[in-house]
Amino acid sequence: MPPKLEFLARITERRAALRAELAALLPPKQPVTWEIGSGHGHFLVQYAQAFPEKLCVGVDIIRDRLNRSDKKRDRARLRNCHFVQAEAREFLDSLPAGVALREIWVLFPDPWPKKRHHKNRILQAEFLEALAGRAGEGTPLYFRTDHAEYFSAVAALIPALRTWRLDPSAPWPLEQETVFQARAPAYQSLVAVRTSHPARSAETAAPEPPPPTDPR
């Protein structure tokens, strides 16, 4: 088989395996708390423990981090927490029909600091619109980063979309330090909410980003 066809066949096979894995893991009508880039699992294991009624799924591309996450989950004996090896967009595209996102967490995503690499960032307009397609009205998206420019870019992007609005008064449901949070001298957080009726008045324009939080 020519290399290009072989490559495409591998992708098709991987996506079919992911679809089958998710179909077996996720009950059709139960909404999912999704953490994108769950790393070593520190946040999601604590979160699933704090909210046993929520079905939590963490996704990462690095196998070793998922193995560590699985160990934490098993030590805590949690049945509502799963870790899946997948690229975020492929995961979203492979969600079984009828499975909605209850909430979305994106904690310290890779910032891709060079301008020419910004296209690799996970939080971009096209991805946010795709997320909106699986999120009911009111679904929150929690975003935290130590990269000031990435934070400002997302805070400016959200009010420009028809599908999300910033909610500066939304609470942060659980504080749990992650590996990358522990390394960060400071960070910023925002909550966006899925909306089908975005207001475009001055009050809902992008707020000034809050000052970085110094965790010490």
Ligand X SMILES: C[S@@+](CC[C@H](N)C(=O)[O-])C[C@H]1O[C@@H](n2cnc3c(N)ncnc32)[C@H](O)[C@@H]1O
Nearer to ligand X, 70 or 87 (CB): 87
User: Are residues 75 and 50 in contact, defined by beta-carbon separation less than 8 angstroms?
Assistant: no
User: Are residues 65 and 44 in contact, defined by beta-carbon separation less than 8 angstroms?
Assistant: no
3-state per-residue secondary structure call for 97-124: CCCCEEEEEEECCCCCCCHHHHHHCCCC
Q: Which string of x and - marks every residue 176-195 that binds ligand X (by CB under 6 A)?
A: --xxxx--------------
Degrees (nearest 5) of the Cα angle 97, 98, 100?
A: 110
| Least CB distance to ligand X at residue 179 (A) | 4
Q: Is 62 a binder of ligand X (CB under 6 A)?
A: yes
Stretch that binds ligand X, among 17-25, 57-65, 146-154, 155-163 (CB under 6 A): 57-65
Task: Pick the binder of ligand X from 32, 33, 37, 192 (CB under 6 A).
Answer: 37
Q: Which string of x and - marks every residue 86-115 that binds ligand X (by CB under 6 A)?
A: -xx------------------xxxx-----
Nearer to ligand X, 163 or 181 (CB): 181
Integer angstrom CA distances of residue 169 from 33, 44, 103, 175, 176: 20, 23, 16, 16, 20
Q: Give dist(CA 193, CA 135) in Å, integer.
A: 10
Q: Give dist(CA 201, CA 216) in Å, integer.
A: 37
Q: Is 70 a binder of ligand X (CB under 6 A)?
A: no
Enumerate the active-site residues: 110
Where along the sequence are the contacts to ligand X (CB under 6 A)? 36-39, 59-62, 65, 87-88, 107-110, 122, 178-181
